[in-house]
Structure 1
Amino acid sequence: MMTARDFRFGVNLFTAGPRKAWQETARRVEDLGYDVLLVPDHLGMTAPFPALVSAAEVTTRPRLGTLVLNAGFYRPALLARDVAGVHELTDGRFELGVGTGYAAAEFEAAGLPFPGARQRIEHLEHTVTEVSRELAAAGHRVPMMIGGAGEKVLTIAARHADIVNIAGAGPLPGSGQADPLSARVGFVRRAAGERFDQLELGMFLAAVHIAGSGEPDLFVPRALYPDLSEEELLALPGVLHGSAGEVADSLRGIRETYGISYFATADRYLAPLAKVISQLR
């Protein structure tokens, strides 16, 4: 039986703003007890690498990562150079999170063709393989997270990543899975083989609501699952609501049942999840 890992908590910060405001946010993330400060990779938002280096200037404890880089925006040699630079400038606190990219409009805005799913998945595997090779050759040990929901991306994650982020934890269209989270963890276990016990499993918390703080904010899960009713959204394993103690118990249950110990959420749920973190320390 796999020994339970310690909890880790991350927050994905979608808005940076001016340097002073950004660094104040970074300090707050650290003060609230988060283990990882994360930045997404979307056009129209702050570029992740300079934002993370700036956050490193005013924090000492949290790891710094991407949730997640769009592999389609990068070529491996150039990405490896940038990752090595961020690794050095953050005193080794950087964690590289990478995915296939999914927003056709962003590829178009960047002047890039939007490949089909198979080509994007193949490029992801090529990218993570080459980046890992180049970093190892240069003597850099940078933890890698790969996020996804489908079997092909989870296979790449199981074979190459240090951290597997099981995206969504909701039902895949037409899957008929009664417990999609169990199905995905089981798939990762089979795909990883002997590597499985070395993997850290993570999931994204689409919403966190603490009882007594008004109506649940379901903005993020609605965006992820627009066809689900409010009742169905509230039943998702990545949508947590109740008292801080009840939500903490839910996370203990997820860790015990599925082996998932790394939980990240969006910045709009920064304060609610912090109340839960304090229950688990």
Structure 2
Amino acid sequence: MAQKAFRFGVVAAAQEGGAKWRETARRAEELGYSTLLSPDNLNLPTPTASLATAAAVTTTLRVGSFVLASPLRTARAAAWEAHSLTVMTDGRFELGLGTGLPSMRQQAEELGLPYGNGQERLDSISETIDHVRRLDGDAHTPVMLAAGGPKARRLAGAKADIVTLAGGVLTTRDEFKAHVEEIRTAADGRDLELALNIFVVGEVVPPWIRGFIGVDAETLIEHDSLTMLRGSVDDMAAELERRRDELGVSYVSVNSAFIEEFAPLVERLTGK
């Protein structure tokens, strides 16, 4: 299968108010990032509002959910939000979907919704995609699936346009290669874009990121973690090209804490 050209996204939370969020969106576009991606959590502004705001102050920047958690809305409601964003952004929206973290059980309860077991959450994602396809008509909302487990990888291969390799932070290269094979097999020849999220650029893990991923820089380095990218710009560019060669990953997102540090790679590799 032919290699896809590189593109890059920024994962950011609109937690510091509208002015800061609009500034982030404009800066991401200015630096050449393809997408601004917003997480889904009841403690943050809803992605629908955040992404519509970001699209309104930019012209070419794509916006996406990273990712809508299936326990936090019904499949039909998620599809309604997604299609609405596709319409209101003139096709610049990408729908990211996932089954949600275990901590979202309480958030689902706050909304009066069932958290569900793993299969039920995956079924909700599948139904969301079906609803979006029906609502879109002649339009097409790109769907990204965060695929952590075998069932999610099979569903992603069968129905998604973009698949984010969502193993643990210490998942090995060989394990990721096996995951890609599962996804490709399920895709049965369908054209897919493979993606990977970078938590750390450089060799310093900010405390809040360490709290989220649960490991320090030394552990990431020891395990050759693909959630870290380090070295010179040349080194990092070569590593991203290696990941594309070995895994097919061409769409790379980075935490907004590193938006400036990562920008030279965006300039060098975008579209290549």
2:192 is matched with which residue: 181, 192, 199?
199
Residue 146 (structure 1) aligns with: 145
Residue 127 (structure 2) aligns with: 126
1:216 aligns with 2:215: no
**CA spacing shift, 1:124–1:219, aligned 2, 3 Å:** farther
Residue 212 (structure 1) aligns with: none
User: Match of 1:8, as an amino acid?
Assistant: R
3-state SS of paired residue (2:29):
helix
Contact 2:12 / 2:39 at 8 angstroms: preserved in 1? yes
**CA spacing shift, 1:229–1:78, aligned 2, 3 Å:** closer
| C-alpha distance in structure 1 between counterparts of 2:192 and 2:115, whole Å | 31
Contact 2:195 / 2:249 at 8 angstroms: preserved in 1? yes
Give the fraction of aligned pairs with identical amino acids, expressed as a percent: 33
1:105 aligns with 2:92: no
| C-alpha distance in structure 2 between counterparts of 1:157 and 1:130, whole Å | 16
3-state SS of paired residue (1:270):
helix
Contact 1:169 / 1:203 at 8 angstroms: preserved in 2? no
| C-alpha distance in structure 2 between counterparts of 1:169 and 1:10, whole Å | 20
Residue 183 (structure 1) aligns with: 178
| C-alpha distance in structure 1 between counterparts of 2:209 and 2:159, whole Å | 28
Give the C-alpha shift of residue 273 in structure 1: 1.3
Range with greater deviation from structure 2 (86-95 or 118-127): 118-127
Residue 244 (structure 1) aligns with: 233
Deviation track 1:165-221 (CA, whole Å, cap 9, x = no partner) reads: 11146456xxxx6722111111111111121xx100101112111xxxxx5125576
User: Match of 2:246, as an amino acid?
Assistant: T
Contact 2:25 / 2:54 at 8 angstroms: preserved in 1? yes
Contact 1:202 / 1:262 at 8 angstroms: preserved in 2? yes
| C-alpha distance in structure 2 between counterparts of 1:183 and 1:113, whole Å | 32
| C-alpha distance in structure 2 between counterparts of 1:37 and 1:53, whole Å | 11
The within-5 A match list for 1:31-46 is 31-46=30-45
User: Match of 2:201, as an amino acid?
Assistant: V
Residue 11 (structure 2) aligns with: 12
| C-alpha distance in structure 1 between counterparts of 2:244 and 2:105, whole Å | 35
| C-alpha distance in structure 2 between counterparts of 1:219 and 1:248, whole Å | 26
Size of the aligned set, in residue pairs, is 266
Residue 254 (structure 2) aligns with: 265
Give the C-alpha shift of residue 82 in structure 1: 2.1
| C-alpha distance in structure 2 between counterparts of 1:80 and 1:155, whole Å | 21
3-state SS of paired residue (2:242):
helix
| C-alpha distance in structure 2 between counterparts of 1:61 and 1:72, whole Å | 31
Give the C-alpha shift of residue 129 in structure 1: 2.3
Q: CA RMSD in A?
A: 2.0
Deviating 4+ runs (over 6 angstroms):
none
Give the C-alpha shift of residue 269 in structure 1: 1.7
| C-alpha distance in structure 2 between counterparts of 1:34 and 1:95, whole Å | 14
Contact 1:244 / 1:279 at 8 angstroms: preserved in 2? no
Residue 232 (structure 1) aligns with: 219
Residue 53 (structure 1) aligns with: 52
Q: Which consecutive residues of structure 2, in runs of 5 or more, have no partner in the other structure?
A: none
3-state SS of paired residue (1:191):
helix
Q: Which consecutive residues of structure 1, in runs of 5 or more, have no partner in the other structure?
A: 210-214
Contact 1:207 / 1:220 at 8 angstroms: preserved in 2? no
| C-alpha distance in structure 2 between counterparts of 1:225 and 1:49, whole Å | 26
Residue 276 (structure 1) aligns with: 265
Contact 2:37 / 2:64 at 8 angstroms: preserved in 1? yes
**CA spacing shift, 1:117–1:220, aligned 2, 3 Å:** farther
